[in-house]
Amino acid sequence: MVNSDGTHPEDLSDWLWMAFDTYATDTIPNSGYTYINPLYDFYGENQRRVIETQGGIGEWVFSLGGNYNDFIQIGATFGIQNIRYKYTLIHTENTETGDFKSFDYTETVETKGVGSNFKLGMIIRPVHFLRVGLAFHTPTFYTLTDIYSYKMSTYWRTPDSDGNTEYHSSAGEYEYTYEYYSPFRTVAGLAFVLWKYAIVSADYEYVNYGKSRFRADDYDFETENNSIKEKFGNGHNLRAGVEIRLAPVYLRGGVSYYGSATSQKYKDTGSVSGYSLGIGLKTRTVYIDFAFNHSYTKNNYLLYEYDQGLSENANYKLSKDQINFTLGYKF
C-alpha cells in the first residue's frame, strides 16, 4: 500500500479507501500517514479469481440491392447495432493460519450503447458457374457508456472490541460515456456453382485492427490509441463453406479461421477457429434461416496486469456458441 503513504484517509482513491475501510491496510500512529498492510505476512497464500461475462450485440439492417442483366449485382446495407455487456471479476485470497482469514474483491463493469455502419458490395458473374465478390465495410461508430462498481470484504479469526470478524466496503456506481470506432473491413470472395444442387465458396477478409480508436469530449485517449496502434496489426481471416440445395430446403456447413489481431511484436491474442451448421427454407417471397456457430481459441492470462513475476501464465481454452435466426421478406 505504498501508494497510500502521505495521504490522509479521507483523500484516498476509492479502491485504496475500500482497503482502508476494511482494515486490509491501516495507518501507523504518529507516522505522518504512513500505511501498513496487516495482510503482508500472509498475502497471496491461496489465490482464486473468477471472471464472468455475458451480453451480446444485436443488429438491425436496412438493405438495398440491384441486378444488371445477371452479370453484376450491387448492394448496400445500413446497420444499427445495440450493445449490452457485463463483466464481473471476483478475486479471493485466504490463509490457513494467522488472524487474517480471507478477503474478496469484486469489480463489475456494465457496457451499453449503440452503433452504426455501412456495407457496400458487389458480385460479378463472368461465367454461369463462377461468382466473384468484393465488399467494403466502413468502421462502426459506437457511442458507449460504462457503469463501474466495486466492493471489498475482509474476514478475520479474532473478533474486534465490538465482536466483528468481517468488514465490508463498496464504491458507488460511476458512469463514463465515450466513442469507439472499429476498423474498416475489406472482403473478397469466390463461389462456384455446381450445377443447380450445390455452391462452394471461400472468402478472404482483411482488417487493420490498429486503426481502432477511442475518443471522448473530456479525454483525448492519446495513450490508449497509441498503444492500439503499436500493439495491434493487420488481421487476415478466412472462411469457406458449402450449401446443398434440396429446394425449398437448403443445408449449409462451413469453417473459419481468424488470425491474431496483434502485431508480430505482441503475439498476445490467439487466433480463433470455428465451424458452423445451418438449415434454411426459401420461397419466392419469404426465407427463413437457422444457424449454429461454434468457435474456439487458446490464450494466456496473467493474474496481475503489471505482473513482474508475481504469478505464472494461465493457459486457457475459450469456446463460444451462437445461434442465429434470420427471417426475410422480398418485395
**Digit-coded pLDDT (tens) for 7-62:** 777 777 777 888 888 888 877 777 777 777 766 655 556 888 899 999 989 899 99
Position 246 scores a pLDDT of 86
AA identity, residue 191:
A
Rounded Cα gap, residues 67 and 73, in angstroms? 5
Q: Are 282 and 245 in contact (CB under 8 A)?
A: no
The pTM of the full predicted model, rounded to 2 decimals, is: 0.75
Domain limits, the chain: 1-38, 49-329
Nine-digit cell at 194? 455446381
Q: Would you say residue 252 has pLDDT above 60?
A: yes
Percent of the chain surpassing pLDDT 70: 89
Q: Would you say residue 294 has pLDDT above 70?
A: yes
Backbone phi, then psi, for 160, in 5-degree steps? -85, -170
Q: Would you say residue 73 has pLDDT above 90?
A: yes
pLDDT, mean of residues 252-274: 80
Nine-digit cell at 300? 494466456
User: What's the mean per-residue pLDDT of the chain?
Assistant: 86
Position 265 scores a pLDDT of 65
**Digit-coded pLDDT (tens) for 196-232:** 889 999 999 999 999 999 999 999 999 999 999 988 8
Highest mean pLDDT among 92-96, 260-264, 267-271: 92-96
* Helix (H/G/I), strand (E/B), else coil: 4: helix
Q: What are the C-alpha distances in Å from 284 to residues 247, 287, 290?
A: 11, 8, 18
Burial of 94 (0-12, 13-18, 19+ CB in 10 A): middle
The secondary structure of the chain in percent helix, strand, coil, rounded to multiples of 5, reads 10, 65, 30
Position 268 scores a pLDDT of 55
Q: Would you say residue 146 has pLDDT above 90?
A: yes
Out of 82-96, 125-139, 140-154, 265-279, least confident range: 265-279
Position 305 scores a pLDDT of 60
Nearest to 113 by CA among 183, 178, 185, 184: 178
Higher pLDDT among residues 10 and 244, named by residue: 244
Percent of the chain surpassing pLDDT 90: 47
Partner residues linked to 194 by β-bridges:
198
Q: Would you say residue 317 has pLDDT above 60?
A: yes
